[in-house]
Amino acid sequence: MDRTKDEPDQWSETSAYNGIANGHTLLRQWHDPALQGTLQHHWMRTKKNVMPEITWSQLRRRFTPGFENFLDAGVHNGWYDAGNTLQIMIFRWIFIPWLQTELNAYKDRVNNTMKCRDHNKVLPHGIPELIYNSPEDFGALDFKVS
C-alpha cells in the first residue's frame, strides 16, 4: 500500500478512533437513555491515551506497513491472482496462521519489553507480563470496582 507523507493514514487517531468512540457512545446511549447527550470517549491527539489505543496505533504504524508491502509485492509481481478462487482459498489457508504467529510474536515482544518510566503515572513500572503475573511484586494496588 503506497502512501505519501501528505496522505493521512486511514487509522489515524482522528478518523478511525473517533468512529469507534462514536459507535460506543451510540450503543451506550441506546442501552442507557440517561446517557443521552453525553460523549462516552475522549480521544487525545498526542499523549495520555489509554494503553489499548496506544498499542493499536503502534501496531498500525510499526507492524502493519511491512506486511502490507510484502503482500502487495505478491500481487504486483503476479505471484497471486486476487480473482482466482483457488488462490484466494490457499492464500487464506497459509496466510491466516502465519499472520497469527507473527502477531503472537509481536505481542510477546511488546509484553516482555520494559516501557520507559513515567514519573506522572500511578501504575507500576516494569515489564508488563511480569506485572500482570505477579502484581504484588511491583506494589500494585487493586483498583477493581466490585
pLDDT tens-digit readout, 65-97 = 888 888 888 888 988 888 899 999 998 999 889
Alpha helices in 41-124 (DSSP H): 51-58, 64-76, 85-111
Task: Please give the Cα distance from 41 to 29 (Å, whole number).
Answer: 12
Rounded Cα distance, 16 and 122, in Å? 29
Q: From residue 132, how far is each of 58, 59, 118, 139, 140 by CA, in Å?
A: 21, 21, 18, 12, 10
pLDDT for position 128: 86
pTM of the model: 0.53
In the numeric block, the cell 475522549 is attached to 42
Contact 140, 124 (CB under 8 A): yes
Do 42 and 72 meet the contact criterion of CB atoms below 8 Å apart?
no
The answer to whether residues 88 and 82 touch, using CB atoms and an 8 Å cutoff, is yes
Q: Is the pLDDT of residue 12 over 50?
A: no
Residue 118 CB partners (closer than 8 Å, separation 6+) = 125
Q: Does the pLDDT at position 9 exceed 50? A: no
* Per-residue model confidence as pLDDT tens digits over 89-126: 998 999 889 989 988 998 888 888 888 877 777 778 88
